[in-house]
Structure 1
Amino acid sequence: MRIKYTKFFLVALASSLCLVIFYSKLKDMTHSQRDLTEMSSVKTATPQKSTTVRKIYKSVTPNKLPPLTISEDFRKDIPKNGAFWNRKLHSLLRHFDIAENQTHKDPRSRFRCRPESFELLQTNIQDVQSYPLLYRDFLKGMECRDPPILIDQHSKCVLEKEKDRIFLLFAIKSTPKHFERRQAIRETWGREGSYDNGVQVRTVFLLGRSSVDDPSLDKLVSLEAQQFQDLLVWDFQDSFLNLTLKEHVFFKWMLDRCPSVSFIFKGDDDVFANTQSILNHLQSLDPTQASSLYTGQIIAEASPLRDPKIKYYVPQSFYEGPYPPYAGGGGFLFSGNLIPSLYHVSFYIPFFPIDDVYTGMCFKALGISSAIHSGFKTFDIREQDRENACVHQDLLLVHKRNPQQTMRLWRNMHSSMLTC
């Protein structure tokens, strides 16, 4: 009996030592976080799981936004009618015109997170009670534009030489539970570092909080962020209808942390991107093309889908009219120098429940034309070609691929035995 207890004690002691060593090494891998400030969770329009103390970074968004002109084509493209979003847009455009006459009044002062009451919504949208619950939650939070950032990467775009700059930033929309997808990207096309001609590539993943119906992954996400230094997490519920909010806070983060990035790839975590082909394309652009780039698989002449059962449903009483041309949200490229203007104009375009449509509206409002690139396949390629590494050599993006397909395709594309 004494021998049995002795063995048990030795096993327990060994396990404890392993845990101590693991956490010590994990701690050594993290960057200093001396500039973190502690604050309680802020209540937002979307209910959160807990009110425990959170750590957030201070924001240093510039005091002044750049001058802005909203194109006449955009104003004409969105019809004036009785739909709620249309009325809201043209009301904001009137505010913009007044603000312009008041020497560029800062739009940020107008927005405070005051959730819309259901009574107000019912007054403005007669059939709002027929809207799906998630849609009603989205409507209540349309004025909430500045959730606190819970996990930041303040050194992401800091390089050894001040004169250097990040050439390409991969900004990948993800959710807390998609660790396997993120890891596949880190090990393949999203790998950070110096590429041909010395161009620098960096990667960030954009996350909100776990859904209230999912188990909390806060601790796992925190450990992942500490180890890989590439997660950005904001204090709002990560859902499809909050992707537009994720877009807006990403613009703000770029102004704070990465104002000098040359180009940005914005995409989903289930795409496969050909990093070298993307870099080759970007390096081939002349200065005029580079300064106003917005390219991908362009969806033109699209209109809202009215079936409540589908993911992209938009009620007629919410929005009426066609969509401007927009790049499919699976993945697209744009110029980093457009970020300040995109952030500014987003204050005058009400949040829309489909993020890629919203992004297209922002570019259209700035007078930036979308450019078609045949190498973006956001609706995938022929089924018989999906495992063919040679077919992917000249493509920039395909959607969609699971982590195993991504790893296999990347390995085959970079095999010394591949002959195309």
Structure 2
Amino acid sequence: MGSQEAGSGEEICQRRQFAKDPYHHKSNPFHSWFVGLLALCLLVFVMFFAFSDNTLAWSEKLSLYSQNYVPFNQRPQFKAPPYRVHPKHKLITNAFQKNTKFPSVQPGGLQYHLAYPRNYQFIIDNTEICKDSNPFLVLMVPVKPKDIAARNAIRQTWGKDKVVQSKVVLTLFMLGLEEGADLENLKNENQQHQDLIQSNFIDTYLNLTIKTMVIMDWLATHCPTATYAMKVDSDMFLNIDNLIIMLQKPGIPKVNYLTGMLMWDRPVVRSKESKWYVPEELYPDPKYPTYTLGMGYVFSNDLPAKFVEVSKSIKPFNIEDAYIGMCTKKLGLSPTPPPNPSQFKAYNSRYDRCEFSQIITYILGSSEQLKNYWSDFKKPGPHC
């Protein structure tokens, strides 16, 4: 740590000397004024990077800027200041690269919490939507920018109705940055539907924890008056009527409430061949705390702000639902089983109109399947 600081100071001195030496000879007043202004700008730039976080080398800060601020040509040229966290959580920045890899923990690595949502800024937003509608429930759907088919399928099915069981429901889509996605098309789509939120993180599978924490931050800062929220994947069949009925049952808490399909004593996957692989340096324990499966979990809307705050002290890893489980545990809380656990189902073997009338969630295979199932499900007549 000391050697980094000394190196940074020495480099500053060298750059100051470099700024002065070439201009010892006499020059005209305008030239001297211009050189002095240039040297002052350079000094301010170096001083900013050197002293904004005295544990980072100047060269590391410049590398962070060049790698992470402009990954794609269409990426906006702004970003919130990185958040400094506990020294135990030192992460290098390769999670931002196009071919996202697991961020490794190295001695002397950069002290930036990549999952902390205020490292990022919103590019597309609907800042007043909650103030205008005062929702009872907000459905937050993570989806990639190019996956317009999934968004349209949801808009035609369970995300279509704004009032369900006499309660106001909002359905919003959270997007990151995806190479090749057309920002103007997304802006036009949002202008038409007013349901997109896009942030400037890289939208990859391994960055789902970042995406989820950005969702939590948006709920905490843009929609604090909602009673409940749900993070629900874009490949889900959601029986929204049953969900609203469940949330209005007597005894359902309005604070510190998290429910869904509960996962107990789940082992951490150490096989590098698995999409759920987590290296020990990111998560050393052999098992996760109890968490709710990421396909769709429901929570009282006081929790997002608490999750964002407690995430400052939790090392990020790439399994987003287990990460929320870690945040819940750190808060001294635990997920609550739903009143009827059988309503939160994962995969289905076949469509059954009667069964789909009784559940809340099911994972589907495609957007076309969702539209076909929904069309049949909404036909007049009894379901069973």
When normalised by structure 2's length, the TM-score is: 0.72
Percent of aligned pairs with the same amino acid: 26
Question: 1:113-146 CA deviation, whole Å, 9 max, x = no partner?
Answer: x99558xx9xxxxxxxxxxx63345767952431
Counterparts of 2:83 and 2:282, CA distance in 1: 24
Count of equivalent residues: 304
Give the deviation of 1:44 after TM superposition: 5.9
Give the deviation of 1:194 after TM superposition: 1.8
Paired residue secondary structure (1:134): coil
Partner of 1:367: 332
Counterparts of 1:260 and 1:191, CA distance in 2: 22
Query: Relative to structure 1, is the Cα distance of residues 349 and 187 closer, same or farther in structure 2, using a 3 angstrom cutoff?
Result: same
The answer to whether the Cα contact below 8 Å between 1:210 and 1:217 also exists between their aligned partners in 2 is: no
2:244 is the counterpart of 1:274: no
Question: 1:320-368 CA deviation, whole Å, 9 max, x = no partner?
Answer: 2110011010111010122221221111112111100101111111122
AA at the equivalent of 1:191:
K
Structure 2: tracts of 5 or more residues without a match: 1-64
AA at the equivalent of 2:101:
Y
Partner of 1:185: 154
Partner of 2:101: 135
Counterparts of 1:411 and 1:52, CA distance in 2: 39
AA at the equivalent of 1:155:
E
Match of 1:155 among 118, 128, 132: 128
Give the deviation of 1:392 after TM superposition: 0.8
Partner of 1:49: 72
AA at the equivalent of 1:379:
A
Higher RCO (C-alpha 8 Å, min separation 6): 1
Give the deviation of 1:290 after TM superposition: 3.1
Partner of 1:332: 297
Equivalent positions of 1:62-101 (< 5 A) are none
Paired residue secondary structure (1:157): helix
Match of 1:210 among 178, 201, 223: 178
Query: Relative to structure 1, is the Cα distance of residues 409 and 329 closer, same or farther in structure 2, using a 3 angstrom cutoff?
Result: same
Counterparts of 1:285 and 1:311, CA distance in 2: 40
Greater radius of gyration (CA): 2
Equivalent positions of 1:179-328 (< 5 A) are 179-196=148-165, 198-211=166-179, 215-286=180-251, 289-321=253-285, 322-328=287-293
Counterparts of 1:53 and 1:295, CA distance in 2: 36
Paired residue secondary structure (1:284): coil
When normalised by structure 1's length, the TM-score is: 0.66
Paired residue secondary structure (2:221): helix
Query: Relative to structure 1, is the Cα distance of residues 365 and 307 closer, same or farther in structure 2, using a 3 angstrom cutoff?
Result: same
Give the deviation of 1:377 after TM superposition: 4.2
Counterparts of 1:317 and 1:253, CA distance in 2: 29
Query: Relative to structure 1, is the Cα distance of residues 379 and 224 closer, same or farther in structure 2, using a 3 angstrom cutoff?
Result: same
- The two structures, once aligned, show a CA RMSD in angstroms of 2.9
AA at the equivalent of 2:357:
Q
Counterparts of 1:167 and 1:266, CA distance in 2: 15
Counterparts of 2:77 and 2:250, CA distance in 1: 43
Partner of 1:172: 141
